Amino acid sequence: MSQVQDIYEDDEFEGLLEDARMNAANDWEENFVSDLSSKYAEFGRRMFLSDSQKDHLERIASDE
């Protein structure tokens, strides 16, 4: 598990969250992105992100 600041540059993660929010195709994806957004609002770039969370977020954001 890594922190957002160790994985993504400056505002890259915020853009990824926004892309994922726009591309979320079902309730599960919407809730997943919403939960990550809430945690990011609370912890900022110090938020921890698992490899699985990272993979899911990037998949949703890229609309695959």
Indicate the domain borders of the chain.
2-62
Q: Please, what are the averages of pLDDT over each run of 10 residues along the chain (64 residues)?
A: 94 96 96 97 96 96 86
3-state helix, strand, coil in the chain (%, to 5): 75, 5, 20
| pTM across the whole model | 0.90
End-to-end CA distance of the chain: 24
Quote the pLDDT of residue 10. Answer: 87
Q: Could you tell me if 25 and 8 are in contact, meaning their C-beta atoms sit under 8 angstroms apart?
A: no
Name residues whose C-beta falls within 8 Å of residue 51's C-beta, 6 or more positions apart in sequence: 1
